[in-house]
Amino acid sequence: MALSATTTIAFKTVNTQICSRNFLPPQRHLPFSSSLSSSSFVRTVSARAMELERKNPPVIDENGVLKKGIAEFYDESSGIWENIWGDHMHHGFYPPDSTVSLSDHRAAQIRMIEQALRFASIPLEDERKWPKKIVDVGCGIGGSSRYLSQKFGATAVGITLSPVQAQRANALAASQGLANKVSFQVADALDQPFSDGQFDLVWSMESGEHMPDKAKFVSELARVAAPGATIIIVTWCHRDLGPDEESLKPWEEKHLKKICDAFYLPAWCSTADYVKLLESLSLQDIKSEDWSPYVAPFWPAVIRSALSWKGLTSLLRSGLKTIKGALAMPLMIEGFKKDLIKFAIITCRKPE
């Protein structure tokens, strides 16, 4: 994405809104000691992005770049994310009326995993029915795989496009004594290196939004699922279209395009589109829910961490892709607020 004045203005506006509405947990609760003002942040980071862009002008090749772009984006940014946020590269789940701490983001990310398991009706009380073999499609640095493996005593295999992530995920598994249970490799979710019917839990946590062919993505999830297996997809969607609508409004398309360019995402689909795809494969017990209200505190917290001294210095040392991703974060908040972006969970079961 070209670093545009719009992005810069969007950042300033949204960040001002976030701070003035006191939407964020107070700064003292965050694990960062000092922070910059948002305008200094935008000036400094934008200048660095422009300098990097001058040195490496973007290559525009619609067909070839997506996979490479995704791999490079995560190769470049995963270390910073881990350094500041830990090994889960997904939203936290923040119950709105909750008594839980809204500033404990790691707990919120674990809660996201637990809530997803509950929503999918995994029989948590009955050990005999726990999943034994899990595939983590779009695994990041393996946070979900290691957590699920430990929780269920299961084996897990994760796939990612990023060689840096796969290597780090394996290193973390080894350092936690899980090397015999959990492994990670570079592979494409649209052409998975697994034979049919192998896994009794098929897990995709915030990777579906990167998939350029949603039908192929879903059919691969269903193919590698064993009879009776549970499939869990947690992903970014656009709002469902109304009965008289054939597409999103032009401003909505434009808004999503900016996010796509920054985060290496292809065209989005709606939750209803996912449900139709699962129905077309005759999957059972299909359920979906909009979890957008439960993730609202997440992006403001990520922005707050980017405004911290540690966040800013890490960003400036990172590459252009990471910086552009950071500058696009307010667009996510705006998209949620305008009901354009939905944080969706969709689950189902493969027939026995």
Of residues 209 through 268, those in contact with ligand SAH by CB under 6 A are: 210-211
One character per residue 142-161, x = contact with ligand SAH (rule: CB under 6 A)? -xx--------------xxx
Residue 20 CB burial class (10 angstroms; 0-12, 13-18, ≥19):
exposed
165 is a contact residue toward ligand SAH (CB under 6 A): yes
CB atoms within 10 A of CB 8: 18
140 is a contact residue toward ligand SAH (CB under 6 A): yes
Minimum CB distance to ligand SAH, residue 83 (Å): 15
Minimum CB distance to ligand SAH, residue 42 (Å): 25
Report d(CA 207, CA 302) in Å as an integer.
18
Could you tell me the CA-to-CA distances from 275 to 51, 237, 295, 307 in Å, in that order? 44, 12, 21, 38
- Pick the binder of ligand SAH from 11, 41, 74, 184 (CB under 6 A): 74
One character per residue 176-195, x = contact with ligand SAH (rule: CB under 6 A)? ------------xxx-----
Give me the residue label for tokens 């200048």.
Answer: 47
Half-sphere exposure of 135 (CA within 13 A, CB side): 29
207 is a contact residue toward ligand SAH (CB under 6 A): yes
88 is a contact residue toward ligand SAH (CB under 6 A): yes
In the complex with ligand SAH, the residue whose CB is nearer, 10 or 211, is 211
In the complex with ligand SAH, the residue whose CB is nearer, 48 or 214, is 214
Q: Please give the residue ranges that form the binding site for ligand SAH (CB under 6 A).
A: 70, 74, 88-90, 138-140, 143-144, 159-162, 165, 188-190, 205-207, 210-211
